[in-house]
Every structure is written in structure tokens, then in C-alpha cells.
Amino acid sequence: MTTVENLVNRLHAEAEQRRDPAETPDVGIIMGSDSDLPTMEAAYDVLDEHGFTEQLEFGDSLEGQFSYESYVVSAHRTPELMYAYGETAAERGIDVIVAGAGGKSADLPNMTASIAYPIPVIGVPVQEKSVASVIGMPTGAPIVAVDAGKSGNAALSAVQILAREHEELAERLRESHDAVQAEVADVSSRLHELGRNEFQRDGSWPTITMAPECLAPTELATSDMTAASRPRQNGIVPDVLSSCTWLRKRQTGCVVNTVSNSLQTGPSATDTVRGEDTLR
């Protein structure tokens, strides 16, 4: 069984190899617990979509390919590992670190930012209650952070940083941004041309199907959060994202699935809404 000491020794041994940057991971993804993985998966997806590959063995990255690695590093349970990861990051070829942590004491991102300085660290608060902990850095100890649960944005920021020296990454970012703009333009055009009712009927409107455990019976009469059944706040029907936020506050353990846009419950669920940008 692998021990923390084994991992610490591995990191230092890799640092001593002084590998060519073409053979080492460009981005490091770390998280405080494997329970953070559902939230951090968007970072993996974004990097994959921009041509990165996940490097499983140090030094195995193919020349000309951008890559990333990932570790579970607990600031509180494995501080030696956190220090080793931060201290060896530069010598191991890491250019940017995306660090996620949950709970009220989400110290991994900011501690790693201090240890790995001047390597940029992008913090991801896994839960809303983690935000203050992640961004609470004193003057002279910087960290870049995204909103709760938005690990995909953290990965995009990592690609942006690397794109300053790699034009091919800059081109991929422009292409993905153009695709986002085209999608918004298409939705806008269809809503205008079809009208609200037809737009909703043809499946263009994201319908959120909720698990029974996530329903607030007094406000929601059906399991489909349609325009008619969405909860009202001060007499106003909020948008889909606001509805999800409202629901999350009413009933913990509900998480939006980015593929099916359905709310799920389970041991890996957090109180952070995933797929927010997908629903906007």
C-alpha cells in the first residue's frame, strides 16, 4: 500500500530528474479529498477539450502535447505531501496549479499558493462555504480564485496563462470562445423566431428533472421544474440557475448533473451546483 512518505519521496525524486519541460505535466490538478472529484471533473473536461492529455507516469508526455496530472493532497491530513507538492512543482515542470478544496477550512489552495510561489495557483472553492477560506489571503501572498464549484473556469484560466507562450493554445481558446458565442446566438435567434411557448416545446428550454428527495413539496407540485412550476421569489419566477440555487438552500445533497441537467443525490453530492454555465 502506498504511503504518504512514498508519495513525498516520489515527488522529490521526479524533481531531481530535471526533465525537459516537454516531458512533464504543464498543469497540476490537486484536491483535498477524492469527494471533491465530482466538482473538479469540469477542470479535466476543459483541459481535454483544449487538447491536453492526462499524464499518468512522470516523463511519459509525448513531445508537442500539453498535459496535466492530478493528486489528492489534504492540507490538514497530509501536510507533508502538500509541502512536497508545492516545493517541487517548479522543478517537476508544472507551470500552473489548479487546487480545489471544500469545507469551511479549505486551506489547500492558499497554502499551496504560498509554498509554490511564484507558480500561479488557481483556487477552486468546492462549496460556497469554502469561498472565504480560499480567497482569504493577506497582502503579498496572492492567489487567483474562481467562484464556488467552477473548476472549469479555473482550467480555462490555466490554459490562458499557458497561451501567452503557446500560440496553438491561444488559437484553441479563440475557437472554443467562438463556439460559445455561436451557441448563444443560435439560442437567441430561436427564442426570438419561435416565441417562448414553441421554444420550450421543441426542447430548447432546459428542463430540470429532480430526484424526489430534492423536491420542496410545498412549493413544487411536479417533478419537472418548468416555467410554471419553478418557485417564485417575491412574486418573480427566477431563472433556472436561481431556481437551482434556491433548491440547494432548501434541501442539501442535491447536485446538478452537467450531462443530463438532472438533480442527483448520493454520498458524493455536495451543496455546490454544477453545470451552472450549461444552464444559463
For the residues 241-267, what does the mean pLDDT come to? 34
| H/E segment holding residue 208 | strand 208-209
Q: How confident is the model at residue 229 (pLDDT cuts 50, 70, 90)?
A: very low
Q: Supply 170's cell numbers.
A: 491561444
**26 and 75 housed in the same domain:** yes
Q: Are 17 and 59 in contact (CB under 8 A)?
A: yes
Handedness of CA 157, 159, 163, 168 (dihedral sign): negative
Q: CB count, 10 Å around CB of 166?
A: 13
pLDDT at res. 251: 32
pLDDT at 107: 95
137, 222: one domain: no
Are residues 155 and 220 both part of a single domain?
A: no
- pLDDT 10s digits, 90-137: 999 999 999 999 999 999 999 999 999 999 999 999 999 999 999 989
Mark whether 165 and 27 lie in a shared domain: yes
Same domain, 118 and 243: no
Query: pLDDT: is 261 or 20 the higher one?
Result: 20
Confidence tier at 205 by pLDDT (50, 70, 90): low
Do 18 and 157 sit in the same domain of this protein? yes
Q: Is residue 194 part of a domain?
A: no
Summarize the confidence of residues 64-72 as an average pLDDT.
91
- Looking at the domain assignment, is residue 127 inside a domain? yes
Q: Which residue segment(s) compose the domain that 33 sits in?
A: 4-172
Across the chain, what does the average pLDDT equal? 79
Q: Does residue 22 lie within any of the structural domains?
A: yes
Helix (H) or strand (E) holding 279: helix 276-279
pLDDT (0 to 100) of residue 206: 56
Q: In angstroms, rounded to a whole number, what is the distance separating the alpha carbons of residues 196 and 227?
A: 10
What is the pLDDT confidence band of residue 201, given thresholds at 50, 70 and 90? confident
Going by pLDDT thresholds of 50, 70 and 90, the confidence category of residue 262 is very low
For residue 20, give the C-alpha cell: 525537459
Q: Looking at 3-125, which runs of residues are DSSP E strands? A: 27-31, 52-54, 66-72, 96-101, 121-125
Do residues 228 and 266 make contact, with C-beta atoms less than 8 angstroms apart? no
Q: pLDDT-based confidence at 204, cuts 50/70/90?
A: low
In a domain, 198, yes or no: no
188 vs 190: CA distance, rounded Å: 6
Over residues 200-222, mean pLDDT: 49
Q: Which three cell numbers stand for residue 82?
A: 502538500
- The domain that holds 114 is classified in CATH as 3.40.50.1970
Do 158 and 51 lie in one domain? The reply is: yes
Nearest by Cα to 140 from 117, 106, 107, 116: 117
Residue 171 pLDDT class (50, 70, 90 cuts): very high
